[in-house]
């Protein structure tokens, strides 16, 4: 079999992302606006519950929340979408031969696009609230790339396993629910008990949210050690994901339906 | 040059079998099942190869392996050239999206750039006959439209090797005609075609060579006639085996009924040289020989037969009484021939019923309903329809 390069399939990636967007909000009144409704509603709810206890510790708690929600949302929505990207397309996988990894890449990219839209609205709010913007905001781009690679790597593992183990979807939902509380989405890192901080920082999403907040909210560059640790953990997850995927991809057509 | 080469190909699936436990607590035991085993096949560039076999013999698995969808568990596959094809009906990419979106998506899965699809778009739509439905959701397409849609994209992406899985037997007459034209065009361009079909008639009409698969193994490879004869022989052997395997039931089943006072024990289809065959030539000789066995002397039995096309339409249903041929009596073993000197049927697959009744044609002694199958070939390019009417022209001024 001639192994065709993924580069020849850029149009497929684009078509998959576009069809995904079309499908998600087809026949809805607000259409694409729904992408923005969810993070803002979540922000309002969390603000109502926690703003009092955060007083004095966090300034502009609403903006603090939004930055956390946007970056946590990318991980949570992206991995969920990537998880089912293979089994949802089993019909075509059984009929057409193309690099299967494209399905996971497209799912992750579609979530990245969503995140970028949320982020651009966030930036407008940011300028309105703070009336200024610093050059450190540009650090958000490498952080986004890191998070994309994290979503992709996690998605590669999840999608391969999900083809043969259907319990994974509920398990992953629970894991994300726990992750939401085990990641500094609505509280600062200083709230974490020092005894567990070592384990806590193993979560690569924590590193990403901390760095994103520094760029967006605190106007400082990420710490070199923090960036390196996150880069290493993301690389390990991506490499593991790629290996698992390549190992299992030929068995997808024979998997569960 | 070799386009496709299968070397000792084996493909294994795991099939679940009921294990311990009940209801939702049931556990399954998985056993390996060889869908293909030690398959060796070499297809030359420009060749059209048909793959036939019973359901579950591994035909679609073989095409999937050539398409690169299933990886060999044993052996190796070598494919030279771009493969496109339709494996199974209705590609069902995204049923909620329009045909236009689906064409681009499907083509890009086959590795075609959007700008190239753009150029071919009108042709794809025209070939599929869906000009007015490009913005219609695929979910609202009829099954015929879906089929035409899939076929149209697959053939218009300029493949070197075209795989067709059971697509030609569906679709209306007009589309079939169009597909055949496209396939002949492919053949002229020297492209390789591998086709799976149960429609033996159509497979015979454009394949150079056939492969008969039986339970995942190659049972025979060779010319169209040889392989189809082997296949029909295998099928009738199996159905005969099934009949005797279940005593009591064999005497009366969905396909066979009657009192068996006169039993039709064997039906042989004979060609021009008196040899048993499954494929006959249009305009040639064909003899239906019914071997019977009468338990007692039966006076004036009526023998009959009926020929059906593959859609179950009866084409002719003669019997000895209607034809004014008196069979005085039947006793013990004997046979009766129905001799067709000049077979008027055109290319295709036909089914045959045979029967023997009492003198009033009321009481069936033995009736075999559409239990036999044969093929006709040899149609000329200008011939149309299913049967040649015996007639002549007269022109008067």
Query: What pLDDT does B325 receive?
Result: 93
Asked whether B145 and B133 are in contact (CB, 8 A), the reply is: yes
Residue B34 sits at φ, ψ, to 5 deg, of: -85, 110
pLDDT of residue B239: 62
pLDDT in tens, B327-365: 999 999 999 999 999 999 988 888 899 999 999 889 999
Residue B382 has pLDDT above 80, yes or no: no
Cβ contacts of B99 on chain A, cutoff 8 Å: none
Which of A9, A250, A254 is facing B111, going by the closest CB pair?
A9
pLDDT at A94: 86
Share of chain B above pLDDT 70, in %: 92
Q: Give the closest-approach CA distance of B293 to chain A in angstroms.
A: 51
Instruction: Look at residue B331 in the predicted model and tell me its pLDDT.
Output: 92
The answer, as to whether pTM is greater than 0.80, is no
Substitution target from A2, A89, A94, A96 for chain B, most B beta carbons within 10 A = A96
Number of domains in chain A: 1
What does R_g of chain A's alpha carbons equal in angstroms? 19
Average pLDDT, chain B: 85
Question: Which residues, in sequence order, are CB contacts of A178 under 8 Å at separation 6+?
Answer: none
Q: Quick one: B8 and B74 in the same domain?
A: yes
Residues of A in contact with B111 (CB under 8 A): 4, 8-9, 12, 98
Which residues in chain B are closer than 8 Å to A20, comparing Cβ atoms?
none
> Are B93 and A92 a contacting pair at CB < 8 A?
yes
Residue of A nearest to B150 (CA): A95
Q: What is the gyration radius of the CA atoms in chain B, in angstroms?
A: 25
Residue A125, domain extent: 3-255
- CB-CB neighbors (< 8 A) of B86 in chain A: 95
Residue A28 touches partner B, C-beta closer than 8 Å: no
- Assign B364 to helix, strand or coil: strand
A127 touches B at CB < 8 Å: no
pLDDT at B97: 86
Helices of type H across B158-293:
173-188, 200-206, 224-245
Distance of alpha carbon B222 from alpha carbon A159, whole angstroms: 44
Distance CA B156, CA B247 (A): 54
| B367 Cβ neighbours under 8 A, 6+ residues apart | B256, B257, B258, B353, B354, B355, B356, B357
Least confident of A153-167, B93-107, B279-293: B93-107
pLDDT at B246: 40
State whether B225 and B372 are in the same domain: no
In a domain, B263, yes or no: yes
Contact call for A95 and B91, based on CB within 8 A: yes
Tallying the residues shown for chain A, one arrives at 257
What is the domain count for chain B? 2
Specify the residue for token string 């999900």.
Answer: A162
The answer to whether B83 contacts A22, with C-beta atoms less than 8 Å apart, is: no
B83 contacts A95? CB cut-off 8 A: no
* Tally of CB atoms within 10 A around A238: 18
Task: Say which CATH number the domain at B322 has.
Answer: 2.70.50.60
The pLDDT of residue A3 is above 50: no
Among A91, A97, A250, whose Cβ lies nearest the Cβ of B67? Answer: A97
Which range, of B2-11, B172-181, B356-365, averages the lowest pLDDT? B172-181
Q: Determine the structural domain holding residue B303 and report its residue range.
A: 254-377
Beta carbons of B64 and B56 less than 8 angstroms apart = no
Cβ–Cβ of A1/B101 closer than 8 Å? no
* Per-residue pLDDT at B170: 63
Residue B5, sorted as left (phi over 0), alpha (psi -120 to 50) or beta, turns out to be: beta
Cα–Cα distance between B53 and B231 in angstroms, integer?
A: 7
- What pLDDT score was predicted for residue B21? 79
Residue of chain A whose alpha carbon sits nearest to that of B164:
A95
Are residues B108 and A26, on separate chains, in Cβ contact within 8 Å?
Answer: no
pLDDT at A52: 87
Q: Which of A19, A94, A97 comes nearest B94 by C-beta?
A: A19
Do B229 and B315 lie in one domain? The reply is no
DSSP secondary structure letters along B59-121: HHHHHHHHTTSS--SEEEEEE-S-EEEE-SS---S-TTSBHHHHHHHHHHHTT--HHHHHHHH
Establish if B68 touches chain A: CB-CB under 8 angstroms: yes
The nearest CA of chain B is from the CA of A113 a distance in Å of: 19
pLDDT of residue B245: 40
Mark yes or no for CB contact B109/A26 under 8 Å: no
pLDDT (0 to 100) of residue A4: 52
**Is B178 strand, coil or helix?**
helix
Q: What distance in Å separates the CA atoms of residue A26 and residue B353, rounded to the nearest whole number?
A: 55
The pair phi, psi for residue A48, each rounded to 5°, is: -60, -35
What's B385's DSSP letter?
S
CB contact under 8 A, B69 and A14: no
For A38, half-sphere exposure in the C-beta direction (CA atoms, 13 angstrom radius) is: 15
Please check whether residues B350 and B217 belong to one and the same domain.
Answer: no
For residue B166, pLDDT over 80 is answered with no
Chain centroid to CA B50: how far?
A: 10
Whole-number Å distance between alpha carbons of B220 and B201: 18
Q: Does A176 touch chain B (CB under 8 A)?
A: no
> pLDDT tens, B114-137?
998 999 999 999 988 888 998 988
* Contacts for B380 with CB less than 8 Å, ≥ 6 apart: none
Q: Tell me the torsion sign for CA atoms B168, B172, B177, B181.
A: negative
Q: Would you call A98 and B92 a contact, using CB atoms and an 8 Å cutoff?
A: no
Q: Does A60 touch chain B (CB under 8 A)?
A: no
Contact: B93, A26; criterion CB under 8 Å? no
Pairing relation of β-strands B256-257 and B329-340?
Answer: unpaired
**Residue A110 pLDDT class (50, 70, 90 cuts):** very high
Record: contact B113-A11, CB cut-off 8 A = yes
Residue B101 domain-assigned (yes or no): no
Q: What's the pLDDT band for A204 if we cut at 50, 70, 90? A: very high
Furthest CA-CA distance within chain B: 87
Contact A253 B70 (CB under 8 A): yes
Q: Is residue B154 domain-resident?
A: no
Interface contact flag, A96 B106, Cβ < 8 Å: yes
User: B69 exposed, middle or buried (CB, 10 Å; 0-12, 13-18, 19+)?
Assistant: buried
Look at residue B100 and tell me if it is in a domain. Answer: no
Helix (H, G, I), strand (E, B) or coil at B276: strand
Nearest-by-CA chain A residue for B5: A1
Interface probe, candidates A97, A102, A106, chain B, greatest B C-beta count within 10 A: A97
Query: Which CATH number belongs to the domain containing residue B48 in this structure?
Result: 3.40.50.300
What DSSP state is assigned to residue B26?
-
* Residue B246 located in a structural domain: no
Same domain, residue pair B204 and B304: no
Locate A114 and state its tokens.
């969503």
Q: Is B131 exposed, middle or buried (0-12, 13-18, 19+ CB in 10 A)?
A: exposed
Whole-number Å distance between alpha carbons of A81 and A229: 26
Q: What pLDDT does residue B244 have? A: 43
Instruction: Measure CB to CB from residue B111 to each of A14, A93, A98 and give the nearest one.
Output: A98
Residues B5 and B31 in one domain: yes
Question: Which tens digit of pLDDT belongs to each residue from B16-48?
Answer: 888 787 777 778 888 888 899 999 999 999 999
Among A217-226, A244-253, B60-69, B167-176, the range scoring the smallest mean pLDDT is B167-176
Tell me which residue in A4, A11, A253 faces B69 most closely, judged by beta carbons.
A253
Q: What is the DSSP string of B284-337?
A: S-EEEEEEEEEEEEEES-EEEEEEEETTS-EEE--BTTTTT----EEEEEEEEE
Q: Compute the distance between CA of residue B32 and CA of residue A112 in angstroms, rounded to an integer.
A: 41
Please tell me whether residues B259 and B366 are part of one structural domain: yes
Contacts of B13 in chain A (CB under 8 A): 254
> Does B247 score more than 70 pLDDT?
no
Two tokens, residue A21? 């967007």
Q: What tokens does B268 get? A: 């042989």
**Mean pLDDT lowest among A9-23, A133-147, A201-215, B24-38:** B24-38
pLDDT (0 to 100) of residue A174: 97
Asked if B222 and B355 sit in the same domain, the reply is no
Using alpha carbons, select from B241, B201, B190, B154 the residue that is nearest to residue B80. B190
Residue B158, C-beta contacts closer than 8 angstroms, at least 6 positions apart: B82
Distances (CA, A) of B67 to A135, A168, B74, B165: 52, 30, 16, 12
Interacting residues of B364 by C-beta distance below 8 A, sequence separation 6+: B257, B258, B259, B355, B356, B357
Which residue in the set A1, A92, A250 is minimally distant from B109, CB to CB? A92
Nearest CA in chain B to A254: B13
Instruction: Answer yes or no: is B258 within a domain.
Output: yes
Strand arrangement, sheet containing B217-222: B83-86, B161-165, B192-196, B48-53, B209-214, B217-222
pLDDT number for residue B385 = 79
| CB-defined contacts A:B, below 8 A | 74
Quick check: B243 pLDDT over 60? no
Instruction: Residue B35: name the closest of B68, B86, B72, B79 by CA.
Output: B72
Query: Which residues 85-124 in chain A show a CB within 8 A of chain B?
Result: 91-98
Assess whether B270 and B223 both reside in one domain: no
Report residue B192: phi and psi, to 5°.
-95, 140
Q: Is B13's Cβ below 8 Å from some Cβ in A?
A: yes
């Amino acid at each position: 079999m001639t192994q065709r390069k993924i580069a020849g399939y850029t149009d497929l990636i684009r078509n998959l992302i576009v069809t995904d967007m079309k499908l998600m909000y087809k026949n809805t009144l607000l259409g694409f606006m729904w992408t923005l409704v969810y993070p803002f509603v979540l922000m309002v709810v969390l603000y109502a519950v926690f703003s009092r206890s955060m007083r004095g510790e966090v300034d502009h708690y609403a903006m603090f929340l939004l930055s956390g929600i946007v970056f946590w949302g990318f991980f949570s929505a992206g991995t969920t979408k990537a998880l089912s990207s293979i089994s949802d397309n089993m019909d075509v996988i059984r009929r057409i031969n193309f690099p299967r990894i494209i399905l996971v890449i497209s799912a992750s990219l579609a979530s990245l696009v969503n995140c970028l839209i949320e982020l651009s609205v966030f930036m407008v709010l940011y300028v309105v609230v703070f009336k200024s913007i610093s050059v450190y905001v540009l650090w958000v781009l490498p952080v986004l790339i890191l998070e994309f690679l994290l979503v992709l790597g996690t998605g590669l593992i999840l999608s391969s396993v999900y083809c043969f183990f259907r319990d994974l979807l509920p398990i992953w939902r629970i894991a994300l629910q726990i992750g939401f509380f085990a990641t500094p989405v609505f509280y600062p890192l200083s709230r974490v008990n020092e005894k567990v901080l070592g384990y806590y920082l193993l979560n690569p999403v924590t590193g990403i949210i901390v760095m994103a907040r520094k760029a967006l909210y605190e106007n400082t560059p990420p710490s070199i050690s923090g960036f390196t640790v996150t880069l290493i953990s993301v690389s390990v997850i991506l490499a593991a994901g790629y290996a698992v995927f390549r190992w299992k991809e030929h068995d997808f057509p024979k998997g569960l339906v | 040059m070799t386009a496709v080469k299968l070397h000792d190909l084996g493909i294994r699936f795991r099939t679940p079998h009921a294990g311990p436990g009940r209801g939702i607590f049931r556990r399954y035991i998985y056993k390996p099942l060889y869908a293909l085993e030690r398959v060796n096949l070499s297809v030359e560039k420009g060749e059209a190869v048909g793959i036939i076999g019973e359901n579950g013999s591994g035909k679609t698995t073989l095409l999937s392996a050539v398409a690169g969808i299933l990886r060999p568990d044993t052996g190796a596959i070598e494919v030279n050239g771009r493969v496109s094809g339709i494996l199974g009906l209705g590609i069902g990419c995204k049923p909620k999206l329009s045909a236009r979106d689906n064409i681009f998506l499907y083509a890009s899965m086959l590795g075609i750039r959007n700008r190239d699809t753009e150029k071919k778009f009108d042709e794809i739509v025209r070939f599929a006959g869906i000009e007015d439905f490009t913005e219609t959701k695929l979910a609202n397409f009829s099954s015929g439209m879906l089929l035409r849609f899939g076929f149209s994209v697959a053939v218009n992406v300029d493949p070197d090797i075209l795989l067709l899985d059971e697509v030609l037997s569906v679709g209306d007459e007009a589309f079939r005609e169009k597909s055949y034209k496209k396939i002949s065009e492919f053949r002229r361009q020297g492209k390789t075609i591998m086709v799976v079909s149960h429609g033996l008639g159509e497979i015979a009409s454009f394949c150079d060579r056939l492969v008969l698969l039986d339970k995942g193994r190659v049972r025979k490879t060779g010319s169209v006639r040889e392989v189809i004869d082997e296949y029909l022989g295998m099928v009738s052997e199996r159905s005969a085996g099934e009949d005797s395997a279940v005593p009591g039931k064999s005497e009366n089943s969905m396909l066979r009924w009657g009192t068996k006072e006169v039993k039709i024990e064997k039906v042989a289809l004979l060609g021009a040289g008196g040899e048993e065959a499954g494929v006959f030539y249009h305009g040639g000789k064909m003899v239906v020989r019914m071997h019977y066995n009468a338990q007692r002397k039966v006076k004036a039995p009526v023998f009959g037969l009926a020929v059906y096309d593959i859609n179950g339409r009866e084409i002719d249903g003669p019997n000895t009484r209607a034809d004014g041929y008196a069979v005085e009596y039947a006793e013990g073993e004997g046979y009766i021939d129905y001799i067709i000197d000049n077979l008027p049927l055109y290319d295709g697959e036909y089914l045959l019923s045979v029967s023997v009744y009492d003198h009033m044609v009321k009481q069936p002694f033995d009736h075999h309903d559409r239990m036999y199958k044969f093929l006709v070939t040899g149609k000329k390019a200008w011939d149309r329809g299913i049967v040649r009417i015996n007639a002549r022209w007269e022109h008067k001024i």
